[in-house]
Structures are given as C-alpha cells and as structure tokens.
C-alpha cells in the first residue's frame, strides 16, 4: 500500500448537528471528506465501491475561532458567523498502490474542508504496516460497533453528486477519535483486536475494506 502525506494550514469539517450560527468543527474528517480528496486527485467523482481499502489518520496543531462573512443566494444582506478552524494539519491516507500517480499529479486542488482550506501533497511512499493487537487508534473515525469510547455521530460515508445540491448516499454511526495527545488518551483509545500499526507515527490505522454498504 502507499501512504500519502497531505498538509494544510487550515481545515474545517462540518459538525453534523449544527446547521446555522456558530460553526464548530469535527476534530477529524469524515469519510465523505476523504471521498472528496480522492475525487479531486483523480479528477472525477470516486465511489468507495471502486476502492479495495482505505484508511486515514489526521493530526492538527491546534484550533481557533475565525469570523466568516456569509452571502446567501437571493439576499443582499450578509451575516457574520463564528467558525472554528483547525491549524497546522497533517492527513495520512493509506491506499492501494494504483493511487500513487493520482497523488503525484492531482488533477484538481485538494481541500481539507472548505474551498479556502487548500492542501498540498508532501510525500507519497510505499509502506508495509505491521498487524498488531492492543494498539491505540486516533485521528480517524471508527464504526460505533468497535466498542471504542468517544463521541458518536451519524456521518455521511459518501455523497451522490448527480443531484444539486449533493445528497448523502449513505450515513452511518461512527465514533470520532481525535489523535491521542497523551498516554491517558492513548490508553483509553486502545483497540483490543487486530489492527495495522504505523510505527513511524506510532498509531493504529483503521482500514475500511469493501466499504460501500457494509460500514
């Protein structure tokens, strides 16, 4: 498999229970954001049905609150809202080898959230992850049935872009696991089953296989 390292100054991932007003961000991207990144890299809409497996780990250096002016279609007045933003971000994607060329020469701009959250590919390399038990998991989402403790949200897996506006093709309950920042958090987020382990960034990688319809 390959590991793609993507960097951005800012990122913002829509919090599903907030529709207007203050806009917090999820601490990690949902799978639908990963679908968007894959689609931008290849230059056409990608469905997870086409990908044998995918995994990801996301880290941020911190968060803050920005003011954002909103222009609504058909309205002359504007609104100013507070939006939470993640800073100094790194996303590691774990993909089959055939995705290497797409990320060495992405067709469209990669984004970690909104159109202003532009990202760049820092490296693409082949990796071989070791399978281990009792490893910490974080910087990702895992199925709510995993038994790992954390906030559970109903999150979109992928979108149908054949309609305007786009619609969620499928949503499932996931446990949101921030990247662990201390030993207590690593212990709390330790998964007892078998999991691939990335020793370079010291974290377990939750791999989704045969994703569509089975999460």
- Of 11-20, 37-46, 111-120, minimum mean pLDDT range: 11-20
H or E, element range at 89: strand 78-95
Before 148, cis peptide (omega within 30)? no
Query: What confidence tier does 211 reach under pLDDT thresholds 50, 70, 90?
Result: low
- Residues 102 and 38: their CA atoms lie apart, in Å, by 8
- Residues 109 and 99: their CA atoms lie apart, in Å, by 16
**Coil/strand/helix, residue 79:** strand
Give per-residue pLDDT as tens, 36-89. Answer: 999 999 999 998 888 999 999 999 999 999 998 887 777 777 788 899 999 999
- The owner of tokens 């071989």 is 128
Work out the average pLDDT over 131-141. 95
- The owner of tokens 């002359």 is 76
Residue 213 has pLDDT above 60, yes or no: no
Among the listed residues 135, 213, 206, the one whose alpha carbon sits nearest the alpha carbon of residue 176? 206
**The token pair that represents 169 in the structure block:** 């093709």
Per the CB < 8 A criterion, the answer to whether 95 and 87 are in contact is: no
Look over the chain and give the mean of its residue pLDDT values, rounded to a whole number: 91
Among the listed residues 60, 42, 62, 61, the one whose alpha carbon sits nearest the alpha carbon of residue 51? 42
Residue 16 has pLDDT above 80, yes or no: no
Query: What confidence tier does 28 reach under pLDDT thresholds 50, 70, 90?
Result: very high
Residue 215 has pLDDT above 50, yes or no: no
Give per-residue pLDDT as tens, 160-196. Answer: 888 887 888 778 899 999 999 999 999 999 999 999 9
Residue 23: other Cβ atoms inside 10 A: 19
139 DSSP 8-state letter: S
The architecture CATH gives domain 2-209: 2-Layer Sandwich (3.30)
pTM: 0.91
């Amino acid at each position: 498999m390959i590991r793609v390292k993507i960097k951005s100054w800012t990122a913002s991932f829509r919090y599903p229970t907030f529709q207007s007003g203050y806009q917090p961000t999820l601490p990690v991207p949902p799978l639908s954001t990963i679908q968007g990144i894959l689609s931008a890299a290849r230059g056409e809409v990608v469905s997870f049905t086409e990908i044998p497996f995918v995994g990801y780990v996301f880290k941020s250096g911190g968060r803050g609150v920005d003011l954002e002016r909103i222009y609504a279609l058909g309205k002359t007045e504007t609104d100013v809202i507070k939006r939470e933003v993640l800073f100094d971000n790194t996303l590691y994607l774990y993909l089959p080898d055939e995705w290497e060329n797409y990320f060495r020469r992405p067709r469209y701009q990669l984004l970690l959230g909104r159109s202003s959250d532009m990202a760049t590919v820092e490296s693409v390399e082949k990796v071989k992850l070791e399978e281990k038990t009792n490893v910490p998991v974080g910087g990702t989402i895992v199925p709510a049935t995993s038994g790992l403790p954390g906030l559970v949200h109903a999150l979109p897996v992928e979108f149908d872009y054949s309609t305007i506006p786009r619609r969620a093709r499928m949503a499932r309950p996931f446990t949101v696991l921030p990247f662990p920042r201390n030993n207590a958090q690593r212990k709390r987020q330790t998964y007892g089953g078998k999991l691939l382990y990335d020793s370079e960034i010291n974290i377990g990688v939750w791999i989704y296989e045969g994703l569509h319809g089975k999460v």
